[in-house]
Amino acid sequence: MPGLVTSPTRELQHINMDTDNKKTEKYRGGNLKYRLQCKSSQATKTEGLCFEDMSQWSQSLERLLSSKYGMKIFQAFLKSEFSDENIEFWVVCEEFKKIRNSFRMSSRAKKIFKRYIQAESPREINIDQKTRERIQLNIEAPSAVCFDDAQKIVYGLMERDSYPRFLKSDIYRTLMDSTSQSVNM
């Protein structure tokens, strides 16, 4: 991630934590470096983002993903490393589990399979062939758990690889430094 961070004080300039207001976000999809930067003072004033919450993120991937801001920052980190298909798949599976309409579930299961599971798919995740084949059978009569095996594999990969890299990243360290400075003032 060389070159992503220009200076710790500028690291947090212009981060948009309000995901509910994406339509009005001027730089949506723009330069990652620009989106991840905001003034330290802005970060400490962001509702819900504080040192105590952020320090919880280092305790487990589960705690990071259960935090609205933690999830968004982790996704941005993975996107900056061109490895966001795993978190994207994991989130899609969580949303899939909430579907109650069988027609919608069937349609969505096929889309998820084509996008993430099928060999050579656009956002193919790293799973074994046996799991891939089992999912292909499962989506013929889909249920809320038909992607659970793949989701567990992906979670394990993130937990062992992506998550430790995130905790060592300039993004996380700079956020922690900026929020801890506001606590010490």
User: pLDDT of 25-61, one tens digit each?
Assistant: 333 344 444 445 443 334 334 455 778 888 899 999 9
Q: For all residues of the chain together, what is the average pLDDT?
A: 79
Q: Name residue 137's amino acid.
A: L
Distance CA 80, CA 122 (A): 18
CA distances from 139 to 8, 25, 112, 145, 160 (A): 47, 36, 10, 10, 28
Output DSSP code: residue 161: I
- CA quadruple 17, 18, 19, 25: dihedral, nearest 10: -100
Q: Do the beta carbons of residue 178 and residue 76 sit within 8 Å? A: no
Q: Name residue 15's amino acid.
A: I
Distance CA 64, CA 57 (A): 4
Q: Which residues contact 110 (CB under 8 A, 6 or more apart)?
A: 139
CA 37, distance to chain mean position in Å, is 18
pLDDT of residue 55: 87
Instruction: Identify any residues that bridge with 13 across adjacent strands, giving them in sequence order.
Output: 38
What is the enclosing helix (H) or strand (E) of 99? Answer: none
Give per-residue pLDDT as tens, 140-171: 999 999 999 999 999 999 999 999 999 999 98
CA 47, distance to chain mean position in Å, is 20
| pLDDT at residue 113 tops 80 | yes
| pLDDT at residue 4 tops 50 | no
3-state secondary structure 112-124: HHHHHHCCCCCCC
Task: Indicate yes or no: pTM above 0.75.
Answer: no
Distance CA 73, CA 166 (A): 9
pLDDT of residue 130: 97
